[in-house]
């Protein structure tokens, strides 16, 4: 499994590999398909150096499935080059950056 | 810029980094919509695709409208009117989508959305947004 998932109380942390793209689609979808109200998600991107538009779509679909505007999803450990891409996509209005 | 998979044909690249990335995401939604319509076994729920698309379209429009305002874009009114028409269409699809009674109806609306989205992307990006990108790049 490329994704590393851990739980601590109501917080679920998902750690991504170096490349976050279409190859992770099925695994990411399965990992995020069951949502419960009140769950806080932390997406740990500290090792991610490459991210593609499929990944951006996956993140938005995940957000929608997790409750849309009420979803509690934060990015942590975002490298500058990945942060720049997320900001170009205007994700700062949709996700939290820690 | 974005690496690896890219569902946006090169002819839609308009030369503005942020707007190009945001358009790429719209094409990903279109791709996901098509996967769902083909009943691919790992497809997302149509409702998530539709609501996610609607939400991201509004986010993208706000980005463009803020940029137009900040740079005193002369074609702003006409451009925003196109956004307004799409927002109305999204709202109409949304109202129909939330009142569907069965999978067949849901599928039919999703097919309509796919056709509408493809036509809109073709016209709006290739023509209207291209002019905006030219303006924004000159402004910088």
Q: Is A54 on the interface with B (CB under 8 A)?
A: yes
Q: Is A64 on the interface with B (CB under 8 A)?
A: yes
Domain A4-29+38-97 has CATH 1.10.10.10: no
Closest-approach residue (CA) in chain A for B17: A88
Averaging pLDDT over each range in A66-70, B101-105, B116-120, B133-137, which range is the top one? B133-137
Q: Is A76 on the interface with B (CB under 8 A)?
A: no
What is the rounded distance in angstroms from the CA atom of residue B1 to the CA atom of residue B139? 21
What is the rounded distance in angstroms from the CA atom of residue B14 to the CA atom of residue B31? 20
Distance, CA of B14 to chain centre? 15
Higher-pLDDT residue of B41, A20: A20
- Of the options 1.10.3330.10, 1.20.120.50, 3.40.50.720, 1.10.10.10, the CATH number for the domain spanning B20-139: 1.20.120.50
What is the rounded distance in angstroms from the CA atom of residue A64 to the CA atom of residue B55? 9
Contact between chains at B25 and A93 (C-beta distance less than 8 A): no
Our CA angle for A91, A48, A67, nearest 5°, is 40
For residues A68-74, give the mean pLDDT.
93
Task: Find which of B56, B58, B98 to mutate to test the A interface (most A CBs within 10 Å of its CB).
Answer: B56
pLDDT in tens, B69-112: 999 999 999 999 999 998 898 889 888 888 988 888 888 998 99
A9 has a pLDDT exceeding 50: yes
């Amino acid at each position: 499994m490329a994704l590393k998932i851990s739980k601590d109380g109501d917080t679920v942390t998902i750690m991504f590999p170096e490349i976050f793209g279409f190859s992770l689609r099925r695994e990411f979808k399965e990992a995020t398909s069951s949502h419960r109200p009140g769950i806080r998600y932390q997406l740990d991107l500290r090792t991610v150096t490459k991210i593609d538009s499929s990944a951006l779509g996956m993140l938005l679909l995940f957000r929608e499935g997790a409750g849309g505007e009420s979803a509690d999803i934060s990015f942590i450990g975002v490298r500058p080059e990945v942060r720049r891409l997320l900001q170009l996509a205007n994700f700062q209005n949709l996700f939290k950056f820690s | 810029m974005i690496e690896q998979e890219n569902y946006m044909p090169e002819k839609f690249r308009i030369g503005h980094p942020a707007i190009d990335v945001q358009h790429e995401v719209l094409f990903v939604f279109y791709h996901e919509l098509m996967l769902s319509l083909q009943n691919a076994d790992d497809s997302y729920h149509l409702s998530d695709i539709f609501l996610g698309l609607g939400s991201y379209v509004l986010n993208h429009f706000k980005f463009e409208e803020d940029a137009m305002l900040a740079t005193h874009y002369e074609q702003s009114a006409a451009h925003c009117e196109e956004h307004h028409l799409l927002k109305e269409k999204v709202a109409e699809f949304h109202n129909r989508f939330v009142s569907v009674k069965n999978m067949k109806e849901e599928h039919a609306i999703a097919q309509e959305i796919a056709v509408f989205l493809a036509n809109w992307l073709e016209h709006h990006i290739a023509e209207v947004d291209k002019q905006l990108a030219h303006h924004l790049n000159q402004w910088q």
